[in-house]
Structure 1
Amino acid sequence: MALDTLASPILFWCAVVFLVSTELYYLLPKSVSDKIGQYCLSLGSIIRDYSSGKYYKPWKSAKAIVVVSSKRQIMELSEAPVLSQRAAYADMFGFKHTMNKLDHHDHKVARSRLYGRLLQVNGPTNLAKLYPHLQKRLEQSLAHELEAGVSTDGSVSIPIAQTVRRLASRMNSLIFFGERLSADPVFAEALLRYPADMVKCMAAFQVTPSFLSPMVHSLLTNRGRAMHIIQNQLISVLGVNQKNWQEVPEIKQMTIIHNMSEMVEGNDYWSPDVLSQSLLGIWFAASHQPWMNLDFILLELCARPEWQTILRKEIGDFSAYDYERLEKLPLLDSFIKETIRMNPLDTLAIRRKALEEFTFSDGGIPVPKGSTACVSSFNLMHDKEVYPNPDEFDGRRFVTTMSSARGTKLTEVSEKFPIWGYGSLACPGRFHASLVIKMILAHLLSSFDMRFADEKARRKWSWETFTMPYESTRVVLTKR
């Protein structure tokens, strides 16, 4: 959500009241005079921060964060049993509430293995077969977005964040749930809204006491409406209506929901409820990052129009493409990767929560129980040994650089490019994300010239370690 949206009068004063109430809770143990004084200071600080467009630093006392950097440390960070990925993100996103009472400790090894087989092993083959259906979905969805845009002199102005969010959601939903199920307007809207609900709750949970989390979740998500719509539909398809699920066979057999149900057939643990809950988690992981990366990539293309020409020349006739050919565009791959390197969505990565105190084998700083260990994705992706002139944007960096980064692809897992994680828990859905991003980019580049509607408009904002697109930024598309 953009700061200019947050600054609207109603939301602004709601935020003030909400945050001040939280401050009062934490001030209760202090004397009355201290409470009054700190209350006034907090109120003034909140108003100054929101009115000036700055992010607000939560006042919850945070536990230590240990940042590691060597390859050996990163491997231990990724693989140590007492350093939990799920626990870190369960705390951040409140899985107990946002994923309908998910117990992140339950069968965690079995879940990880299933997700790996489902997305990383079977994914590329299924994506290749789904490609023509995804191409059709993209063309239909983009046409709908353009109809809703503002037309002037043969060009169309679109809100870029909202547009790419919907395009990515529509394409991902076909990969997950097939043509007919994902075409249901209520279900499709819930799929679009659910990741946004998760992010809103994540931000709110950082500044509220834990006992208020159920109420916060209920208020921000309309009592979890999107979550329940999705899960109820999935339970129906995976349960009593599984045999009656109507879908084109050639699409159905390639969907994530169908493959997941087949892989666990006969296993009593994987009930329709558990499967639907797992799919909620996979959906969030797959849908909340690609559209933001897409937004930043398109903004870079608008800021560097010469790269539109360069990539358009490499792509050629996009209408004749298939999955394999799309993966053989080194300049497009490099430009995407360089944009992500320069615009990381989170300056920290590979987050793990210590379930008990942990010390790395090199005898470094111990990680106290309950604390977070991670890497600095910003620092790793600005290492001069790997990325010469790291503060300069170089769209050809991964094609022409004379460092170890040369020739590495977007989907490769590396400690020097940690956006996918690392080790055995590296993101298994990275091939899906890469395909969605590349298809949308290639289609737009082949069909349109792109420019900013307002060169001076704000394009991104920061909150804590996160960077997010502005909702209000508009891009003008001119048909070629």
Structure 2
Amino acid sequence: MDDPKAIVYGFAGAVGIYALLKAFSGPDLSAIPALGSTNAILSFREVFRYLFGAKELCTEGYKKYPRGMFKIPAIDRWNVMITGHDLMEEIATAPENELSFYESINEFLQTGYTCGWGIVKDTYHAGVVRTSVTRNLSVLFPEVRDEIVTAFDDVLPFQGKEWLTIPAFDTMMQIVCRTSNRLFVGLPLCRDPDFTKLNVEYAMDVIIAGQFINVLPAFLRPYIAPFLSPRNRILKRASKHLTPVVEERFRKTEELGEKYPDRPNDLITWLMDEARGDERTVPALVQRVLFVNFAAIRTSTDTFTHMVYDIAAHPEHVEPLRQEISSIVTNEGWTRAALNKMYKVDSFLAESQRFHGIGTLSMGRKVVKKDGFTFSNGTTLPYGTYIHSPMWSIHHDPEIYPDPSVFDGFRFSKMRQATEEPGTSKYQVITTSLDYLPFGHGRHACPGRFFAAVELKAMLAHLVLNYDVRFVDNGPRPKNHYMASACLPDSLAQVQIRKR
């Protein structure tokens, strides 16, 4: 066979057949009702519905099985959807050795190949993000704020007060990357153009590579995955920037002790404090910084781009937001404590995540208990089953959120102010619940949500207070792109922005 296209198509077809056979030879889920046919060939229709219309497919099942389970076919497996508070709470509280969050996410990302096997074996970075990052948010907020201001000024080349047309997603990703890395690696590296570029590329490429690797037969992955993964390429570039920094930290620690004068207070230092064994080496720490960057940058960029589009699409929210921000900043300045008092800003972020979000599913787990996981209703899901809860459907349930198809940026601040304790955290964006799942819920709720919320709210407040935003030709909000469980803002759309 001399035709290269025929070889490619033949290989793709073989992989597709393998993925389909894999899906129907996996765990025995015959007791779980399916949306559509369970026939391997006929179910292809539902696979395509899942790939391009997951929110409609999940909502159909959510309405049909409101307090139970149903399954939908992905390319290479069945996904079991869990609905109803009782069963969802069992997911949230189940131990990792029965329902594994990490096994689920590692399968999705193919983490070992795309991010390194050390990340799979030791997840100590999650504890660092949960504790050290969160603990230092108040003291480091002035640096975060400084980077937001500087990044906006640097990436928006204004000349006067004219409207500037910009690619929304790419611009916001640069701002998010720089702001995050002010906390992760500090000055001057957080502003280095190549360091920003490689982290942006990595944030985009990991997910794409993971999906390609996922459909490969397991026995082929060790041979083909290294060619698909961006890891080695990006790691080599990142090492040029980070290796001298980490080596210098090690040298000073050895010579002057762990608490040496002017010791940087950033992610690199916090990781060094917690890393043990093989993970406390320069290459391993470089990889770990890259991974935290990936986890932070892509999700926050998607979320912030959604918010920018929402500000332009719903200009009636702008003046109330400006009044709140201006009043609080005038009295208290730019501090984390001041940011916490911006109820409307917090609410706008929460509503944007409810209405759009960056995915249609949440609380992903893999059953890793050898004899299966048994729910309180008596249903046992066998080892190897992948489960989720249909987040988009929950967030658009009129019994939970009145008028769910209406974007109300102050929905959550109204609920917060209507409670007997207006200062309660119940309706804050960082507070997870079975009805609000952008950050998951339970023992594996996103450990970085506190930093993400501070960063996103501070960027939104700066944007609203200092700029006007509109769509080109005052057009409609760009449509979201749904691909399997992802809800992505239009990455090619442009917006117009000007200084106030």
Would the TM-score normalized by the shorter structure come out above 0.5? yes
Aligned to 1:165: 173
Displacement of 1:435 in angstroms is 1.4
Amino acid in the other structure paired with 1:327:
N
Displacement of 1:358 in angstroms is 2.7
Aligned to 2:236: 228
Asked if residue 468 in structure 1 is aligned to residue 476 in structure 2, the reply is no
Q: Map Cα deviations across residues 134-171 of structure 1 (whole Å, 9 max, x no partner).
A: 22222222122111x7x798111111101111100101
Aligned to 1:22: 12
Aligned to 1:337: 350
Counterpart CA distance in 2 for 1:292 and 1:121 is 24
Aligned to 1:198: 206
Matching residue within 80, 96, 112 for 2:112: 96
Do the aligned residues in 1 keep the contact of 2:92 with 2:444 (CA within 8 Å)?
A: no
Asked if residue 261 in structure 1 is aligned to residue 272 in structure 2, the reply is yes
Asked if residue 61 in structure 1 is aligned to residue 89 in structure 2, the reply is no
Displacement of 1:464 in angstroms is 0.9
Asked if residue 394 in structure 1 is aligned to residue 412 in structure 2, the reply is no
Displacement of 1:250 in angstroms is 9.7
Aligned to 1:366: 380
Displacement of 1:207 in angstroms is 4.0
Amino acid in the other structure paired with 2:345:
L
Change (3 A) 1:120 1:239: same
Displacement of 1:222 in angstroms is 5.7
Asked if residue 288 in structure 1 is aligned to residue 307 in structure 2, the reply is no
SS in 2 for 1:369: coil
Do the aligned residues in 2 keep the contact of 1:354 with 1:369 (CA within 8 Å)?
A: yes
Aligned to 2:462: 443
Displacement of 1:378 in angstroms is 1.5
Matching residue within 261, 280, 293 for 1:271: 280
Change (3 A) 1:359 1:244: closer
Displacement of 1:390 in angstroms is 2.2
Aligned to 1:136: 146
Structure 2 matches for 1:35-74, cutoff 5 A?
60-71=75-86, 73-74=88-89
Aligned to 1:430: 449
Counterpart CA distance in 1 for 2:19 and 2:296 is 43
Counterpart CA distance in 2 for 1:92 and 1:163 is 27
Do the aligned residues in 2 keep the contact of 1:178 with 1:251 (CA within 8 Å)?
A: no
Displacement of 1:74 in angstroms is 2.8
Counterpart CA distance in 1 for 2:292 and 2:403 is 36
Matching residue within 404, 414, 427 for 1:408: 427
Do the aligned residues in 1 keep the contact of 2:73 with 2:79 (CA within 8 Å)?
A: no
Aligned to 2:363: 350
Counterpart CA distance in 2 for 1:83 and 1:223 is 28
Aligned to 1:9: none
Q: TM-score of the superposition, structure 1-length normalised? A: 0.80
Do the aligned residues in 1 keep the contact of 2:351 with 2:409 (CA within 8 Å)?
A: yes
Change (3 A) 1:453 1:250: farther
Do the aligned residues in 2 keep the contact of 1:204 with 1:216 (CA within 8 Å)?
A: no
What residue ranges of structure 1 are gaps of 5+ in the alignment? 1-13, 31-41
Do the aligned residues in 2 keep the contact of 1:349 with 1:418 (CA within 8 Å)?
A: yes
Q: Map Cα deviations across residues 255-312 of structure 1 (whole Å, 9 max, x no partner).
A: 1111221244xx4354224444433332222221111011111111111111111111
SS in 2 for 1:289: helix
Asked if residue 178 in structure 1 is aligned to residue 191 in structure 2, the reply is no
Counterpart CA distance in 2 for 1:329 and 1:359 is 43
Q: Which moved more, 1:441-450 or 1:315-324?
A: 315-324
Displacement of 1:421 in angstroms is 1.9
Aligned to 1:35: none
Q: Map Cα deviations across residues 166-204 of structure 1 (whole Å, 9 max, x no partner).
A: 100101011111112323333232222111111211332
Counterpart CA distance in 2 for 1:29 and 1:165 is 33
Change (3 A) 1:58 1:456: farther
- Report the count of equivalent residues: 436
Displacement of 1:27 in angstroms is 4.8
SS in 2 for 1:243: helix
Displacement of 1:463 in angstroms is 0.6
Do the aligned residues in 2 keep the contact of 1:205 with 1:213 (CA within 8 Å)?
A: yes
Displacement of 1:224 in angstroms is 3.2
Displacement of 1:406 in angstroms is 9.1
Change (3 A) 1:337 1:29: closer
Do the aligned residues in 2 keep the contact of 1:398 with 1:407 (CA within 8 Å)?
A: no
Counterpart CA distance in 2 for 1:276 and 1:71 is 42
SS in 2 for 1:414: coil
Q: Map Cα deviations across residues 387-438 of structure 1 (whole Å, 9 max, x no partner).
A: 2222222222112246899951011121211221222222111111111111
What residue ranges of structure 2 are gaps of 5+ in the alignment? 21-40, 55-71, 254-259
Do the aligned residues in 2 keep the contact of 1:92 with 1:205 (CA within 8 Å)?
A: no
Do the aligned residues in 2 keep the contact of 1:75 with 1:422 (CA within 8 Å)?
A: no
Q: Map Cα deviations across residues 66-103 of structure 1 (whole Å, 9 max, x no partner).
A: 42432454344543322111111111111121112346
Aligned to 1:321: 334
Q: Percent identity?
A: 22
Change (3 A) 1:28 1:238: closer
Do the aligned residues in 1 keep the contact of 2:88 with 2:434 (CA within 8 Å)?
A: no
Counterpart CA distance in 2 for 1:26 and 1:407 is 45
Asked if residue 380 in structure 1 is aligned to residue 394 in structure 2, the reply is yes
Q: Which moved more, 1:451-460 or 1:175-184?
A: 451-460
Q: Which moved more, 1:289-298 or 1:62-71?
A: 62-71
Do the aligned residues in 2 keep the contact of 1:95 with 1:101 (CA within 8 Å)?
A: yes
SS in 1 for 2:365: strand
Counterpart CA distance in 2 for 1:330 and 1:446 is 15
